[in-house]
Structure 1
Amino acid sequence: MWRPDRDSKTPLYRQIADYMEQRISFGELPPGSILPSERKLAEQLGVNRSTVVQAYDDLRASGMIESATGSGTRVSQHKWGMAQKHPPNWSRYVEGGTFLPNLPLMRRIRESIRRGDPAVNFASGELAPELSPNEAIRGLMAGRPFREQMGYGDPQGYGKLRIALASFLREHRGIRATDDSILVTSGSQQSLYLITQCLLSPGDAIAIENPSYCYSLPMFQSAGLRLFGLPVDKRGVDPEHIQSLYQKHRIRMVFLNPIFQNPTGTVVDEERKKELVACCERLGIPIVEDDPFGLTSLNEDRQPLPMKAADPNGTVLYVGSLSKIAASGLRIGWIVAPQSVINRLADAREQMDFGLSVFPQWIAAHFLESRDLRPHLMRLRAALRSRRDVMAEALRRELSGEIAFDLPEGGLNLWCKVRRPVHDFALLENGIKKGVLFVPGSVYGSESGFVRLTYARPRTEDIEPGIAKFAEALRLTLGT
């Protein structure tokens, strides 16, 4: 995000005015566009409100913008003789469309991240840069010449990567699949998007865990789907709840994250996994199994296998990615499914973007086949265990009696329950003021008073100070 240069000889207000005028001239802010309030823009740019007031005064004097009591400040409709022209009403366009915007709480969190606030980030569900295999990838790139064609590739994905994935899934996840049954995507969210757009229709009913990361993705509502929640207990989802929802609403698909579930950290036990697959086979409905955290188990002796590992009849569509175990920036995910499903999704994928860039797929293929993979996973698990323990100890010290949580055996998050009633939005705003970010549980469909804290994103040395800031925000919200 642009910010004025404090070392420039040009006054700050003049830099702001020039930048706004440039954006108006480029058509980025068409006539009629509503501008941020003086206070809001001052916060975004890190300047005093009086500086923005002076910049707006200059723009107003030149006729570039206009203000009216009760309706705020906007780009003038009459600039540069445009009164007789009729540019598009972009406000009406952006409020339309079928693809819904992110939830307000998520937009607030991401806005704070984009602004570069000096915050401890417990909100982003990704690995810290130092947890990614950067050195291994640099070594792979330095030691192997890239000789692949740079044209449009196979919409199903780079062939060598699909072969590498088939081997990786067999060795590490117990899944037997050929490269023909794998579709490479740009991550789990694109996999879910393709499934909702290609295999379901508006009005269809689907079942998702409650709470669930799926609730934070408006793509399901954008597709016109009806969502019904499945309670999550210590053993995960109960098959009887699926049976009940099917009888009441004729659900057509079940979305599950059975291993270190996001956000609760729950692991579905082996017996219940079999019961879930058997239940859905009996009803004739598919399971979409999202498995981003399966290889983050902190117990080397207990590596839970996905439901897909025991799915001889093709009931389970398996979704995975490298985002939570290697690097989110690689944008490598996959779907394992029956051939007819893969063909349908690959056809849709080709209509969208003609397939992923071959370069990150080439890197991923070599990394999955390299001797660096297993040592990286071992280092990652050790680092995650250390960070989890630091966070848990800090919570016990700072908020003993105020907050409850179970220690997860894998994944990247702690799922916490505030013992007293608390307003989610107020808690988030106070957290931002104190310099800490997190995700309120209501984003994932839970009742108010739950919080997801990610221990994989911040640096280890920032976790304890971050929890202290969170404790301050919580006490401020509770009035204690």
Structure 2
Amino acid sequence: MWIPDRQSKKPLYQQIADHLEQRISYGEYPPGSLLPSERKLADQLGVNRSTVILAFAELRSMGIIESRTGSGTRVSKTKWGATPKHTPNWSRYAEGGSFLPNPPFMRRIREALHQHPSLIDFASGELSADLAPNDEITKLMSEHKYTSYLGYDNPQGYVPLRQALVSYLERHRGIHTTESSILITSGSQQSLYLITQCLLSPGDAVAIEDPSYCYSLPMFQSAGLRLFRLPVDSSGIRPEDIRALYKKHRIKMVFMNPNFQNPTGMVFDAERRKQLLDLASELRLPIVEDDPFSLTAYDGVPPSPLKSMDMIGSILYIGSFSKIAASGMRIGWMVAPNSIVERLADARQQMDFGLSVIPQQVAAQFLNSNHFVPHLERLRMQLQFKRDLLIEALQKELPDLVTFSIPQGGLHLWCKLIPEVHDGKLLEEAIRRGVVFVPGSVYGSDSGYIRFTYARAKAEEIGPGIAKFAEALRELIGEKPAL
């Protein structure tokens, strides 16, 4: 009996749809014949019913099957009759285009979380609801009257928010800038997307850290860029590696996350920072600095951004509210020369005519309020507490099978597994037991690494979640837990 291949890059629902379409075309299910129910087919194939629902929806969109309440799902008579009514082959369109889908592991994680909301989530790189400033935002919205004008705003971003960011960046990040050098975006990923689409051309060579969150983003390959890796050690990248890549490949730009780097948690070494800025000046090489985690520093002393040391304008600086407030606010920013800001604002206006003005107003009020700093202090304390719970659980459950360096900020713990384990098999076994994480290979690393994110899971879930992961790992390596 046919079953879908969970190791395939093709989503499970698409495999099922393709298989059913083939059986129908072979005449195994003639026109008008009744297909198995969603529940029965899900049981036969060992998948969640929602996966079958998606497969049926795909076939309905192509006119191959029809569903009627009380009559079940049948093969369409008109599709296969003498005068068929053809609909576009949407699945082929979905496979086309230049914008690539997310990596298979990320799609599998998203599918698992959608199908099983009770999974303990060590994969999602966002704050849990209890870490967000919900009460503070609610209070601000009740105290302030927001604009009655709901038309298109300035494509560069809401002016009072850019003014608030000028003060915020100077006070908290040591960056001196002006409102004309700030572009408001929907988050770090939109900032990166605009850079890759508007400032670079297909075939250009760029350098990224290895491992790196950038490696998990298909937008670089979608833009036709050639990616070259900069190995990350405990002190970050080595500037001399950039020189070597420049000589060999004429790289046009470097993408970095120097503070509490995702996924390693590393902080870029101070001496290497100076060497990097000198090299960028010498080669006239732009550096894109993504800085989402600095203000989570658990000792309350955030490491300085590269941009604060940038005296000649080599750094494009990216930040957002996602990791310090709430991802759902969808507010990010970029600090860049005004000519770059105007170019990207023009491109973004072609995409969406700018962000909604109301979230920008809320963000401006929050930055200017007395709630912001106390929120950061609470966030740091709670993130450190969750980090410690995670470390304690790993030391209890897997003392000899996992190694890691303890991060001093951020949301992630980067772990190396001592045994050799297949990434996909470990992920599937963990999902089966009720927990999900991100395999390290998603970020460009060799197999044998994993990223645990401790910001999303509830504190009381962390210990049980690691226990489930330990069961999955021991199952695969054939080791029984010690009594």
Give the residue type in structure 2 aligned to 1:169: L
CA distance in 2 between partners of 1:219 and 1:409 (Å): 30
C-alpha separation between the residues in 2 aligned to 1:174 and 1:112?
41
1:45 aligned partner: 49
* Alignment partners' CA distance in 1, 2:476 and 2:181: 51
Q: Would the aligned equivalents of 1:117 and 1:435 in 2 still touch at CA under 8 Å?
A: no
Task: Indicate if the aligned counterparts of 2:427 and 2:437 stay in contact, CA closer than 8 A.
Answer: yes
CA drift at 1:46: 7.4
- Classify 1:313/1:46 alpha carbon distance in 2 versus 1 (closer, same or farther; 3 Å): closer
Equivalent positions of 1:330-345 (< 5 A) are: 330-345=329-344
| Superposition pairs of residues 73-472 of structure 1, within 5 angstroms | 76=76, 78-79=78-79, 83-300=83-300, 302-472=301-471
Distance 1:475 1:80 in 2: 51
Deviations 1:203-236 (A, max 9, x none): 0000000000011100000000000000001110
Q: 1:377 to 1:75 in 2, by over 3 A?
A: farther
Cα distance per residue 1:112-147 (max 9 Å; x no partner): 112234210000000000000000000000111112
Letter paired with 1:441: G
Q: Please report how far the alpha carbon of residue 79 of structure 1 lies from its aligned counterpart in structure 2 after TM superposition.
A: 4.7
**1:235 to 1:418, Cα distance in 2 relative to 1, 3 A:** same
CA distance 1:158–1:77, shift in 2 (3 Å): farther
Counterpart of 1:183, as a letter, is L
Give the secondary structure class of the aligned counterpart of 1:312: coil
Q: TM-score, normalised by structure 1?
A: 0.86
Q: 3-state DSSP class of the match of 1:254?
A: strand
Q: 1:279–1:76: structure 2 CA closer, same or farther, 3 Å change rule?
A: farther
CA distance in 2, matches of 1:391, 1:422: 21
1 CA distance for matches of 2:427 and 2:42?
19
Q: Equivalent residue of 1:235, what SS?
A: coil
Deviation >3 Å, runs of 4+: 34-37, 40-43, 63-66, 73-77, 79-84
> Quick one: which amino acid aligns to residue 44 of structure 1?
N
* Amino acid paired to 2:373: R
Give the partner amino acid of 2:410. G
The aligned amino acid for 1:347 is D
> Which ranges of structure 1 fall in alignment gaps of 5 or more residues?
1-30, 67-72
Structure 2 residue aligned with 1:70:
none
The answer on whether the counterparts of 2:297 and 2:410 sit within 8 Å (CA) in structure 1 is: yes
Q: Could you tell me how far apart the structure 1 residues matched to 2:182 and 2:247 are?
A: 32
| Structure 2 CA distance for partners of 1:151 and 1:42, relative to 1, 3 Å | farther
- Give the secondary structure class of the aligned counterpart of 2:48: helix
Distance (Å, rounded) in 2 between the aligned partners of 1:353 and 1:77? 42
| TM-superposition CA deviations, 1:215-265 (whole Å, max 9, x none) | 110000000000000000111011000000001100000000000000000
**Letter matched to residue 439 of structure 2:** P
Q: Is contact 1:77–1:83 with CA below 8 Å preserved after alignment?
A: no
For 1:430, what is the secondary structure of its paired residue?
helix
**Shift of residue 478, structure 1, vs aligned partner:** 1.6
Deviations along 1:407-455, one digit per CA (max 9) or x if unpaired, are 0000001000001111000000001000001000000000001000011
User: Residue 84 of structure 1 aligns to a residue in which SS?
Assistant: coil
Q: Give the secondary structure class of the aligned counterpart of 1:274.
A: helix
Q: Secondary structure at the match of 1:261?
A: coil
Q: CA offset at residue 276 of structure 1?
A: 0.9
- Matched position secondary structure for 1:189: helix
Inter-partner Cα distance in structure 2 for 1:446 and 1:357:
38
What amino acid does structure 1 have at the position aligned with 2:238? D
**One-letter amino acid matched to 2:48:** Q
CA shift, 1:179, in A, is: 0.6
Q: Is the 8 A contact 1:185 1:333 kept in 2?
A: yes
**1:334 aligned counterpart, secondary structure:** strand
State the AA in 1 paired with 2:65: M
CA distance in 2 between counterparts of 1:232 and 1:286 reads 19
Question: SS at 2:232's partner residue?
Answer: strand
| Structure 2, gaps ≥5 residues long | 1-30, 68-72
Give per-residue Cα distances to partners, 1:441-479, cap 9 Å, x unaligned.
Answer: 000000001000011111101100000011011111222
SS at match of 2:229: strand
Task: Give the drift of 1:86.
Answer: 2.7
Which residue in the other structure is 2:9 paired with? none
2:41 alignment partner AA:
E
- Equivalents in 1 of 2:330, 2:74: separation in Å? 38
TM-score under structure 2 normalisation? 0.85
Structure 2 contact 419–448 (Cα < 8 Å) conserved: yes
Which AA in structure 1 matches 2:338?
Q
Distance in 1, matches of 2:117 and 2:293, equals 28
CA distance in 2, matches of 1:250, 1:212: 21
Sequence identity of aligned pairs in percent? 59
8 A contact 2:78–2:85 mirrored in 1: no
